[in-house]
A and B are shown apart, each in its own frame.
Chain A
Amino acid sequence: MKMWKRVCLWLVAWVAIACSSPKNSRLPILGIPEYKEVNGKIDTLYHTVPNFQFVDQDSALVTEATVADKIYVADFFFGTCPTICPVMKQQMLRVYEQFKDTPNFAILSHTIDPEHDTVAYLKDYSMRLGVPDNKTWHFLTGDKDKIYQIGSGEGYMVPLGENEDAPGGFIHSGAFLLVDKERRIRGKYDGTNPKEVTALINDIPKLLAEYEQ
């Protein structure tokens, strides 16, 4: 009987651990940091997303200043994408619905086909998706090279490219990137996977909480 008692207790403990998530753990900082010696001390320089300048669905200029005091989620898509984009947008809608009224939060969706996805197209696209304004969710277009540049290793570190053989003519990542106010990447989630997007939805308040202390 004593052994059974022990087994039961272990079981309870195991279930409790398996179901709980650590509450005070900080999100990781992604990318390879650089180490620099300053006055004999080692300084850690984390990877950050560089400055940018794009235009959103309401023709508003969106730059690093737009998100200066915000954490945000970034992704890449194109309007006529026949593969993963609709699922990504369905999943991003979940994030939007949850946090659209949260101050200090934004979503930046970059088109990788700016020749087709003009401001007017993105306005129609976002309206049809159910996003009535650019208060939280910006659908960005702009200079093609600049879009690919910010997606690359210099910025969000996701694979993007034009490819005639790919469905729709582009290959791109389905990743959602969670970025903090210092523009460091704090999480990367598969935007086509509802479970990973749930993890993102859980991580956003954790990241916001870091700034409340």
Chain B
Amino acid sequence: MIFRNCLPSMSSKLIVPILFALATATACGGGSSEGEQVLNRLNDTEIKYFTNGKRLYSTHCANCHMENGEGLGQLIPPLKGADYLLNDVGRAARIIVNGAKEPLIVNGIEYRQPMPGNTSLNASEVTEILTYITNAWGNSYGGVSLNQIKTALSTN
């Protein structure tokens, strides 16, 4: 509004620096990086899981697997595009809770860093995390149900 009011009254000499400043402000401000796309493949309950899962992921997983799900070099496996995760979500549920001591192969690369378990997480929370990690960053697994995860965890 300010600019609309002041622009007409100003000489062209002044307009140039103002435009420059605006461009600078835009560049400095940066855009929102919260670019999660609307998830058409999830129903309302699953979208709630996804949202809670994102929060839980930040707390319990992102330190090692990173906010972008890409892991760390060949030390910590990625979750983004990870065959090991997407091929067996029940197995992933058990690893989230119990951890992993043995080396595992993700997308053809062997990872040997042990993963600590998260024994404090309950089946609902594991379902939420899995809904998030199997549908974030371009992963497109679809819905994960609580029953599915309860069954997977009971076959420990």
Contact = CB atoms under 8 A, between A and B. Distances in A.
A164 to B, nearest CB: 15
Interface in A4-48: 4-5, 7-9, 11-12, 15-16, 18-19
A199 interface: no
Interface string B1-12: 011011001100
Interface residues of B, number: 28
Contacts, number: 70
Nearest to A18: B28
Given A5-B10, A11-B2, A12-B17, A19 B24 contact: yes
A15 B64 contact: no
A80 interface: yes
Given A15-B24, A80-B113, A129-B72, A8 B63 contact: no
Contact of B72 (A5, A8, A89): A89
Nearest to B27: A19
Interface in B99-120: 113-116
Contacts of A9: 14
B21 A86 contact: no
Contacts of A87: 62-63, 66
Contacts of A1: 6, 9
Contacts of A11: 2, 21
A93 to B, nearest CB: 8
Contacts of A130: 73-74
B66 A15 contact: no
B24 A8 contact: no
Interface string A162-180: 0000011000000000000
Contacts of A127: 74
B116 A167 contact: yes
A12 B22 CA distance: 8
Q: Which of A7, A11, A84, A90 has the most CB of B within 10 A?
A: A90
Given A4-B5, A19-B24, A86 B18 contact: no
B6 A7 contact: yes
B18 A12 contact: yes
Nearest to B15: A8
Contact of B76 (A16, A84, A86): A86
Interface string B78-101: 000000000000000000000000
A16 B75 contact: no
Among all A-B residue pairs, the 10 with the closest Cβ atoms: A128-B74, A4-B6, A129-B73, A8-B6, A19-B28, A86-B64, A12-B21, A15-B21, A82-B116, A128-B75
Given A19-B27, A86-B64, A127-B74, 12 more contacts: A8-B3, A8-B18, A11-B2, A11-B21, A16-B21, A18-B28, A80-B114, A87-B63, A87-B66, A89-B75, A128-B73, A130-B73
Interface of B: 2-3, 5-6, 9-10, 14, 17-18, 21-22, 24-25, 27-28, 62-64, 66, 72-76, 113-116
27 contacts: A1-B6, A7-B6, A8-B3, A8-B14, A8-B18, A9-B14, A15-B24, A15-B25, A16-B21, A18-B28, A19-B25, A19-B28, A82-B64, A82-B115, A84-B63, A86-B63, A86-B64, A86-B66, A86-B76, A87-B62, A90-B72, A128-B74, A128-B75, A129-B72, A129-B74, A129-B75, A130-B73
